[in-house]
Amino acid sequence: MHCNNWIFDMDGTLTDSMTVVWEGAPDALLARYGRTPKSDLHKTLLAMGMADGAAYLIREYNLPLKMEDYNDVMWDVITKLYETVELKPGVRELLARLKAEGARMCICSNTWSAQCRTVLTRLGIDEYFDFYVEAQGALHKSRPDVFFQTLARLGGTDPNRCVVCEDSLYAARTAHDAGFHVIGIADAASKSDEPALREVSDQFLTDWTELDWNKV
């Protein structure tokens, strides 16, 4: 195996939570305050980190929330939704083989690290990851810094020997342009971006059972 460092997104990449949680949570939050979501809400939020998304919802929907209150409210909303989330096909087998081959792995997600850990602990795969990175603020995935800093924490220096696994086009493109080895994974929430995601991925998979190990 050429690549011994692996950076995984969680939502839509390892878990089926993009539709369940990240399309469901904004709607559930707005419903609490009697607001109706616009038709392009999910697409707009998809390319934002948590902080930017919160500011957008508060501003655009005139929510009676301050930024310091938002996290507690949204945490309650998504915690309930995450209880129904499951792993995508092939994830357990993938992680077990990577560990057996000596790969170092971590999570780099827009979602709060504590929430990621809770979900992946429930699903029985937390043990595979060395650490969790919150891709928010200055470390948003639209900028390559988050991937380089994460690679350094994994103990690597060469992006070409580090795999970034993503379902989101903007994040995959950032990693690709920075020289990382990119694996794109199909997800219903990003179906419209699939042609472009294929272009920036070294491998594009319908699910993890399709991974060609000879190419990583």
Model confidence over 44-94: pLDDT tens digits? 887 777 788 899 999 999 999 998 899 889 888 888 899 999 999 999 999
Q: What is the pTM of this model?
A: 0.85
Just give the CATH number of 18-82: 1.10.150
- The domain ranges of the chain are 5-16+87-215, 18-82
Beta strands in 97-137 (DSSP E): 104-109, 132-134
Cα–Cα distance for residue pair 70/82, rounded to 1 Å: 18
Confidence grade of residue 196 (pLDDT, cut at 50, 70, 90): very high
- Look up residue 212 and give its two tokens: 């060609």
Residue 7 C-alpha from the chain's centroid: 10
Q: What is the identity of the amino acid at 89? A: P
Cα–Cα distance for residue pair 188/167, rounded to 1 Å: 10
Cα–Cα distance for residue pair 88/192, rounded to 1 Å: 19
Write the class of the CATH domain 5-16+87-215: alpha beta
Confidence grade of residue 99 (pLDDT, cut at 50, 70, 90): very high
pLDDT, greater one: 71 or 169 = 169
Cα–Cα distance for residue pair 86/2, rounded to 1 Å: 30
Residue 98 pLDDT > 90? yes
Domains 5-16+87-215 and 18-82 share a fold: no
Angle at 193 between CA 188 and CA 195, to 5 degrees: 110
What pLDDT does 189 receive?
A: 87
- Look up residue 194 and give its two tokens: 């699939």
Cα–Cα distance for residue pair 106/93, rounded to 1 Å: 16
